[in-house]
Amino acid sequence: MNLPRAAAVAGLVVLAVAPRARAQSWTSAPGWTAGATCYEVFVRSFYDSDGDGVGDFNGLTSKLDYINDGNPSSHTSLGASCIWLMPIMPSPSYHGYDITDYYGINPQFGTMADFQRFLAEAHRRGIRVLIDMVLNHSSSRHPYFQAALHDTTSPYRAWYRFSPTSLGPGPWGGPAWRRSPVRDEYYYGAFSPGMPDLNYDTPAVREEAMKIADFWLRMGVDGFRLDAVPYLVEQGACLQNCPGTHLFLHQYGAHIDSVEQGVYTVGEVWGPVDTLLPYYPDQLTSYFCFECAFALDSAVGRGTAGGMLAPYLNVQRAVPAYRYAPILDNHDQPRVMSVLRGDPARARLAATLLLTLPGLPFVYYGEEIGMIGDKPDPRLRTPMQWTAGHAAGFTTGTPWETLQPDTASVNVAAETGDAGSLLNLYRRLIHFRLRNDALASGALVPLAANDSAVVAYLRRSVGGHAVLVVANLGGAPVGAVSVTAGAGTLPAGTYATHNLLGGAHGASLVAAADGGVRYLVRALAPREARVLDLTRH
């Protein structure tokens, strides 16, 4: 397609953008995001269809019913509304974050036809597909970088940053200027020598980023997860979160909207919510809320509620829920079950909180069965554990990475048959989130509890429907817990409480004439959560 004309803004070359497409994307949520949960998949580790030990698209397609079978009342499907695929393009590395061809499929995962068949089957089940887009850097083996490295007159020389000397440390204080293997010079690669940063001061690089997005949208993907976005543009001593990065992301988002409205983009910006907020309102659709993850994991780990809701409330004040993405872990972090020291009760609690709090949550594959994993990185990304059999049912051959030692007990087959398993809890919560308007889109209203181990909050929809969540994060039982909130919390009246997680329903809740709430929970077992749907008499 024809790209917009170039214009100079604030000393940077950016593409002129038409504002017409922005209003739809930022004032109303795409319909599929209401109550949605997304599922992160590492294709290499999900399911191997041909016995070579590496997961592939045909294997992923065969397992789509596990993720979402298209039946809203399914008891065997997670019910995830979208899938985020870690890098699927050709790369010399197992992880895929150093790309050699932005228009291809990693041949270890199959062919473009295999990918398109996967897309069609995902869409048939109502699953949106987001693919990882790595725009900060290419592989050092990319033909463009090789041309720039070997030929100082190549037009691709300006696609990267070269210097006769090292210009100092990178954004984290370590080395970033890498010695060239060809001549006496350096190139900038913040992440590693094998990942030279692309130079977004060069108009052709920006235009290429747009063309790559156009190509994958034509292939049928529904959006992108953008890797490492704070590092896209360097400006003098500024190496992260620079003004030029915000300008480019505005341009990128506007371009995508002009091609196809409703495309969902989610960016990786590590840091507290205050670091995240400058990336709104008019850049990507959403960003991962890492501070939300750290606050939740930390609260569950230490057994006290203090500070857990603060980042959620901070981001809720700034943007709609579909525009931020909470997690418990991902492919770069120790798995939550390892963070919580292998404690199934803590893992159940963390899952319940994640899936009853606002935002558009992402679940990392295997998190739902309690897979473990700690650094180094390959151990965070081990093959999915399907059965207790050979290679945990992942492959008939030898898996690309040694599996975790607990596959005999921690696997999909074993947990599917256990009504009280972590997997079945995830299934119930994800489906509840889709069906219950308060959990799907309700505001977060914090409640005060008279015990530091207890966190309590309401999710309250625009129509007044509410769900009350009360959880004991501690390792000891608590009794006679009083939770309160001030005037205007709920319409006055008496509410029946229905326990969505099963078991005894709670006592009725009474909202005073001014809408204030005081509710007494008689007892909570260690690490017990109650999710109470409120019905006003």
Return the DSSP state at 292. Answer: H
Which residue of the set 40, 197, 227, 415 is catalytic?
A: 227
Q: What are 184's two structure tokens? A: 């006496």
Which residue of the set 48, 114, 268, 297 is catalytic?
A: 268
Half-sphere exposure of 284 (CA within 13 A, CB side): 27
316 close to 358: Cβ distance less than 8 angstroms: yes
Reply yes or no on whether 268 is catalytic. Answer: yes
81 close to 434: Cβ distance less than 8 angstroms: yes
DSSP characters over 417-456: T-TTSHHHHHHHHHHHHHH-HHHHHPEEEEEEESSTTEEE
Q: What are 367's two structure tokens? A: 């998190």
Please tell me the distance from the alpha carbon of residue 15 to that of residue 429, in angstroms, as a whole number: 43
- Beta carbons within 8 Å of 394's beta carbon, 6+ residues apart: 45, 47, 48, 55, 383, 384, 385, 386, 403
| 281: preceding bond cis by omega (within 30 degrees) | yes
| 230: preceding bond cis by omega (within 30 degrees) | no
Reply yes or no on whether 227 is catalytic. Answer: yes
55 close to 46: Cβ distance less than 8 angstroms: yes
Strand order in the sheet with 128-133: 324-326, 286-289, 264-267, 223-226, 128-133, 82-85, 38-41, 362-364
What's the maximum distance between 2 C-alpha atoms anywhere in the chain? 79
267 close to 229: Cβ distance less than 8 angstroms: yes
Strand order in the sheet with 162-163: 162-163, 186-188, 177-179
Q: Is the dihedral of CA 87, 88, 89, 94 positive or negative?
A: positive
233 close to 283: Cβ distance less than 8 angstroms: no
Active site residue ranges: 227, 268
